[in-house]
Structure 1
Amino acid sequence: MQLLRTLCQFPAPSGNEAALAAFLLDYVRREQAGWRVQPQVLADDARFQDCILLVFGEPRTAVFAHLDSIGFMVRYGRELVPIGGPRAEAGYRLVGRDGQGEIDCELTVDAETGALGYEFSREIERGTELTFRCDFRATATTVQSCYLDNRLGVWNALRLCETLENGIVAFSCWEEHGGGSVAYLAQYIYENYGVRQALISDITWVSEGVRPGRGCAISLRDSLIPRRAYVERIRRIAEQSGIPFQLEVEGGGGSDAKELQRAAQPWDWCFVGAPEDNVHSPNELVDKRDIESMLALYRVLLEKL
């Protein structure tokens, strides 16, 4: 779990993913010699900003994993505004850095208005981003930390690269706060490789119907509905593989699939990811059996789809 621990410790709130992207590029350069196939690495500011594309062999399927996380931004004085949809409870420890130095402060929540702020020895410079302080905890059966959504999805994609022969792995930005990058990534992939089917390597939530330890979730719908014929192909492959999985049906939520659904190209997509408890908090919790199920299923799906 050392790679996952490192990924969770990187501050990368939506819009400021550059440092994490640089780490991933360095990781790929160091590790790819041991992978089954060495990918074409596409990463330049003019075309992709802080996103990264890894192209293996003759791709048929693209895997999307978003780099960014939720967080907070300093407004004026001691006010905070959320980045994405973080859980906000008074006392959460937030960290960051501004022109005056390192920051380790506490989140405050006004009991009457719900307004967010911080408690610190000085005022923090406006525009400074604050993220949950990382306390990574791994036991024999679980992993708990901030930002498992979506550093676990990124971890899954990187581990998939070790054995991937044909496929595209796309690391996207801004998913937690409105999206935007998948639109141009999807267009580039479609126009240059003819790929139009995708898997979303992201983390969903534990619910009354999706329980920890019973395998990763194949989502039949969230706020959007994927094309049923494509989802049924994935379901049949999963059933034949013998890998544990659960079917998810929700009425809300979303992912990088939002931009694929609305693309000008005919993309098929399906969300396949492990469920977590304590969503968007410093204490996100995932069962290791679901992590194993997720990676195993992705390896089979990228081979069979």
Structure 2
Amino acid sequence: MELLHRLCQIHAPSGNEVLMKEFLLHYVQENQASWKVKPQLVHGKGFQDCLMLVFGQPRTVIFAHMDSIGFMVRYGKQLIRIGGPVAEAGYKLVGEDSQGKIECTVVENEETGALSYDFDREIERGTELVFKCDYRETEETVQSCYLDNRLGVWNALQVAETLENGIIAFGCWEETGGGSVGYLAKYIHETYGVTQALISDITWVTEGVQAGQGVAISLRDSLIPRRSFVQKIIKIAQEANIPHQVEVESAGGSDGKELHYGPIPWDWCFIGAPEDHVHSPNELVHKKDIQAMVDLYKVLMQKL
């Protein structure tokens, strides 16, 4: 899983996904010759830092967000969250400004909870800082910062190797509330007539969704996708004997929100491996769930 390790180290907090887009573009160009179908690459003017891969005659699109949570330097030594990272005193952050590379430490005010950093100089305001990657792999698990959503991106790239008909859309800004899926969805619908979407993202380990028990298929988070579409997905997973768990939550969200609130009649479903220690430097996912995620996406892209 060296590719996943590399993905987890790329600096791409919400709003600055360009390095991830460039990495993916290079990766596709280097590897597509060995894929079953060579995709059309859609990017550039009108798509900001997004990237789409179009295979054959698509019926379904996989959305995978490229961005991560992180922090932005305010004034003095203040830190502001990008998205919802867990912040504990002592966490290591990395980044770069015009004066050079940065590796600093999170400091939290015990009384106010305000965040700042400890570094040997003042970091330029607006600089983005992300968790320092400490990638750990065992026979059963993978642990690192940013498995959400580098694992979702990795999953899409595994599917791309054998995909004959479909679209993979790598989007931006998901961790801060969306911003790109709306116009990607409009382009996809108007150009290819596609109205089915799978959200390749990572969910939570909870009392009802356990690590090592299979990929999670979400019946709801803060939103409720169309039941008949989700039931079709569950039936396909059952017939293929792919380990899966049905998720029912009252909160949370994903790129599915922009599809749900838009004017196009999208059917969408969040399908992802569950992780523990969410939005921390120590996100943990079981390899059985990763395998089940890849297996289910490959089957769904054939059968939906």
How many Å separate the matches in 1 of 2:193 and 2:98?
Answer: 46
In the alignment, what sits opposite 1:26? 26
Q: Which amino acid is the alignment partner of residue 19 of structure 2?
A: A
Query: Secondary structure at 2:279's aligned position in 1?
Result: coil
Alpha-carbon offset, residue 47 of structure 1: 1.4
Q: Displaced runs of 4+ in structure 1, greater than 6 A? A: none
Query: Secondary structure at 1:126's aligned position in 2?
Result: coil
Q: Which amino acid is the alignment partner of residue 224 of structure 2?
A: I
Query: Secondary structure at 1:25's aligned position in 2?
Result: helix
Alpha-carbon offset, residue 42 of structure 1: 0.4
Q: Which amino acid is the alignment partner of residue 291 of structure 1?
A: I
Matches within 5 A, 1:75-94: 75-94=74-93
Matches within 5 A, 1:247-258: 247-258=246-257
Query: Secondary structure at 1:48's aligned position in 2?
Result: coil
How many Å separate the matches in 1 of 2:46 and 2:55?
Answer: 19
The answer to whether structure 1 residue 73 and structure 2 residue 52 are counterparts is no
In the alignment, what sits opposite 1:189? 188
Alpha-carbon offset, residue 281 of structure 1: 0.2
In the alignment, what sits opposite 1:293? 292
Matches within 5 A, 1:70-219: 70-219=69-218
TM-score normalised by the chain length of structure 1 = 0.99
How many Å separate the matches in 1 of 2:156 and 2:49?
Answer: 17
Q: Which amino acid is the alignment partner of residue 3 of structure 2?
A: L
Q: Which amino acid is the alignment partner of residue 165 of structure 2?
A: N
How many Å separate the matches in 1 of 2:302 and 2:202?
Answer: 22
Alpha-carbon offset, residue 263 of structure 1: 1.0
How many Å separate the matches in 1 of 2:100 and 2:41?
Answer: 35
TM-score normalised by the chain length of structure 2 = 1.00
In the alignment, what sits opposite 2:302? 303
User: Which consecutive unaligned segments of at least 5 residues does structure 2 have?
Assistant: none
Deviation string, structure 1 residues 33-61 (Cα, Å, up to 9, x no partner):
000000000011x2110001100000000
Q: Which amino acid is the alignment partner of residue 171 of structure 1?
A: F
In the alignment, what sits opposite 2:6? 6
Query: Secondary structure at 1:223's aligned position in 2?
Result: coil
How many Å separate the matches in 2 of 1:80 and 1:88?
Answer: 10
Query: Secondary structure at 1:290's aligned position in 2?
Result: helix
How many Å separate the matches in 1 of 2:177 and 2:151?
Answer: 20
The answer to whether structure 1 residue 55 and structure 2 residue 24 are counterparts is no
How many Å separate the matches in 2 of 1:301 and 1:29?
Answer: 25
Q: Which amino acid is the alignment partner of residue 119 of structure 1?
A: D
How many Å separate the matches in 2 of 1:56 and 1:102?
Answer: 39
How many Å separate the matches in 2 of 1:122 and 1:291?
Answer: 41
Query: Secondary structure at 1:294's aligned position in 2?
Result: helix
Aligned length: 304
Deviation string, structure 1 residues 223-242 (Cα, Å, up to 9, x no partner):
00000010011011011000
Deviation string, structure 1 residues 259-294 (Cα, Å, up to 9, x no partner):
000111100100000000000000000000000000
The answer to whether structure 1 residue 40 and structure 2 residue 69 are counterparts is no
How many Å separate the matches in 2 of 1:98 and 1:53?
Answer: 30
How many Å separate the matches in 1 of 2:223 and 2:50?
Answer: 24
Alpha-carbon offset, residue 3 of structure 1: 0.2
How many Å separate the matches in 2 of 1:19 and 1:235?
Answer: 36
Q: Which amino acid is the alignment partner of residue 28 of structure 2?
A: V
